[in-house]
Chains A and B, each alone.
Chain A
Amino acid sequence: MTGEAEDRMEDGGDELLAAEYVLGVLPLDARMAFAARLEAEPPLRALVAAWEIRLSPLNDDYGETAAPASAKAALDRRLFGGPAARETARPALWQSLAFWRGLAVAALASLAVVLIVPFTVPPPTEPSARFVAAMQADASPVRYVALYQSGTGMIDLTRLSGEPASGRDFELWLIEGGNAPRSLGVLPAGETARVPVSQQLASLVSSGATLAISDEPAGGSPTGAPTGAVLALGEMRGI
């Protein structure tokens, strides 16, 4: 291969990046950055879907392994809040519960956006710094990965496991040096979340700063400091 072709390959473009993402070979930071773009760019999602379909025959290699019976019971408790009541469905009740809860969360989330958006940093022109944090804590099921990009002024979070107890919320905190935790806001429900970082806090983001998630009353800590257990935390690493 000529040097030039090598360079083009190095550069890759979205087609190759999508292929690498689907194949799964990217390191955490590149994977997070790509996932953040996926949320915002439908053409990229189409590239990913095409690769998923293209490589899907390889799924045959996995075969099948029966999951333990306890897994379904745990899943049902988690989704529907009780042991599975097969056939005797009570869909009306849980559906409306889930619906109203969803609505309340959506309302909170949009309120958070209204409150936070005015302080959002406009994208700076200097070269973008990126930090990634893998967040977890002993004896806590809550795990997130987070990516901060100074270019967007946003922290993109992907939830790997865990969710707030009923009537509680997850709140995200930035801890820098020996200073008290600074709130980055309540995390909206869902697998992914995009949290804007105010200009003031953006200056505190650095390698070695810590992101943490605490368990808080609905709507977030009433005091401005974490009041509940720290469920996950991780150090930000520059990339």
Chain B
Amino acid sequence: MQGQADQITELIVRTGLKDRSAFDRLYEATSAKLFAICLRVLRDRGEAEDALQEVFVRVWTRADRFAASHHSPISWLAAIARNHCIDRLRARKAPARPVEEAFDLAADEPGPERLAELSSEGRRIDACMEELETDRAEAVRAAYVMGYSYEELAGRHGVPLNTMRTWLRRSLMKLKECLER
């Protein structure tokens, strides 16, 4: 795992030097992850493909900045992808999600098994999520993974927008405190 991260780090650094074969290999190694992000957030295959291109254009032009960041290589790439896809999502004019998409959506969310699997990895963030009230932890996770806005989250949980904002803000600060403990 560490070996793979080192390899990706090297590919990003070489991409920063405009080494095109390194860029090709970086794409091979990471496009499935970044495409999964685009697909999940945008929930539209065509748009996810466009977004993936934009993301890799940014990777190509920004790779020289990676060395100065403290990110792991995958978290750096994922941040570029999430940022771009959420920008697109928020810029949509029409109600972001037609009803029929809401059905796919349920299937997309990590099921109980997947959640258990993730928790069993004993990651620190899962332990910290468990310290939050269940519905708030779910809201944080759904916001991050699905790209829900405050408005959508408030609707899904049946609480006023301001309540949702307070929930999430408090949860985020608790998470931070727990992760730094």
Contacts and interface: CB of A to CB of B under 8 A. Distances in A.
28 contacts: A6-B166, A19-B169, A19-B173, A23-B143, A23-B172, A24-B144, A24-B149, A27-B90, A31-B90, A49-B69, A49-B71, A52-B76, A55-B144, A57-B125, A60-B121, A61-B114, A62-B36, A65-B35, A66-B31, A67-B32, A67-B52, A68-B49, A71-B35, A71-B53, A75-B57, A94-B20, A134-B93, A161-B50
B169 A9 contact: yes
A70 B19 CA distance: 22
Interface residues of A, number: 59
Given A24-B82, A61-B118, A71-B53, A9 B170 contact: yes
A75 B53 contact: yes
The dominant DSSP class at the A interface is helix
Nearest to B30: A64
Contacts of B166: 1, 6, 9
Contacts of B175: 54
B169 to A, nearest CB: 5
Given A16-B169, A61-B118, A78-B53, A67 B35 contact: yes
A56 B169 contact: no
B145 A65 contact: no
Contacts of B168: 20, 23, 25
Contacts of B148: 24-25
A72 B27 contact: yes
B91 A28 contact: yes
B151 A27 contact: yes
Contacts of A86: 21, 24
B72 A56 contact: yes
Contact of A59 (B24, B78, B150): B78
A53 interface: yes
Interface in A7-26: 9, 12, 15-16, 19-20, 22-26
Instruction: Find the residue from B18, B37, B54, B89 having the highest chain A CB count within 10 A.
Output: B54
